Structure 1
Amino acid sequence: MPKRNLALYIDDILDSISAIQSFTAGLSFENFAQDRKTYSATIREYIVIGEAIVALKEPLENRFPSYSWRMIKDFRNFIVHEYFGIDARIIWDLTTQELPELESMVRQLQKQLAETP
């Protein structure tokens, strides 16, 4: 498998964030938790984010050392391997409270990489 550059992983994360935001726009928690397609699609995008974060670990940790990048990786592992124990409220809270901050940091990294020769 060919090695991908960091910009492609950033694009993966931003595409997944955009998809999650699109899937959940205008929904209440109750609607989200009861809509299996939206719930499943959102979880799948978090898996993509987690995989891409692993590839971007070093540049993200260097730029944003206080953020818990390990938590994202661990969360990805949890939703893949412990899928039967996922709490919809946790997914919803991440989506509504944490995702905007993650998007901001990834966009900052994207800008920084674009400015680096």
Structure 2
Amino acid sequence: MLPSIKNDLMYLLNILECIEKIILYSADCTDSEDFYEKNEQMNFNATLNLLTNIGENTGKISEELKQIYSDVEWSLIKGFRNRVVHDYINIDTFMVFDIITNDIKMLRGTIMNIVGVELDKGIFDIEEYEVAMKSFYYRHIKFD
């Protein structure tokens, strides 16, 4: 798919789905050690994969959208993806839990706002959005 702001909706929805799963996987954890050990580290490892996916989708978002929403730390999100992928063994569990507890919900709100604004402006295809709302793939997103 060619980079275009009109194609960014799916990338943003993919990010939202990843965020909702991260929130689900960490829901009853009180600290980083608890989260790291949950389900024999399965939730932690799944979350690292989801954070990687968020970074991948961020890298696919058009420069046009990134410039419009320049207050979002797109490069930091992509940079964290690179860190997870290239230095997986040295990922700090405290840092990951801090991102989950302090940044993920804020990013969710920001992405939801971007989607809403771009739908209202007619940049994103409302029919594509409505199909996504009914999709099993995006079942964790709260389309409110």
- Give the alignment's TM-score, normalised by structure 2: 0.74
Query: What's the RMSD between the two structures over aligned residues?
Result: 1.6
- Paired residues of 1:9 and 1:56 also in contact (CA < 8 A): yes
TM-score (norm 1): 0.89
In the other structure, the counterpart of 1:18 is: 20
Aligned residues with identical type, % of pairs: 25
Preserved contact between residue 20 and residue 42 of structure 1 (Cα < 8 Å): yes
Q: State the shift of 1:61 in Å.
A: 3.7
Question: Aligned match of 1:41 in 33, 37, 46?
Answer: 46
Q: How far has the Cα of 1:116 moved from its partner?
A: 2.3
1:62 to 43, 65, 68: 68
CA separation of 1:112 and 1:13: change in aligned 2, threshold 3 A: same
Number of matched pairs: 115
After TM superposition, give the deviation of residue 92 of structure 1 in Å: 0.2
Amino acid across the alignment from 1:16: C
TM-superposed CA distance for 1:62, in Å, is 1.8
Distance 1:66 1:8 in 2: 21
Letter in 2 for 1:93: D
Pairwise CA distance, 1:68: 2.2
Give the 3-state SS of the residue equivalent to 2:49 in structure 1: helix
Question: Structure 1: which 5+ runs fail to align?
Answer: none
Report runs of 4+ in structure 1 exceeding 6 Å deviation.
none
Unaligned runs of 5+ in 2: 123-144
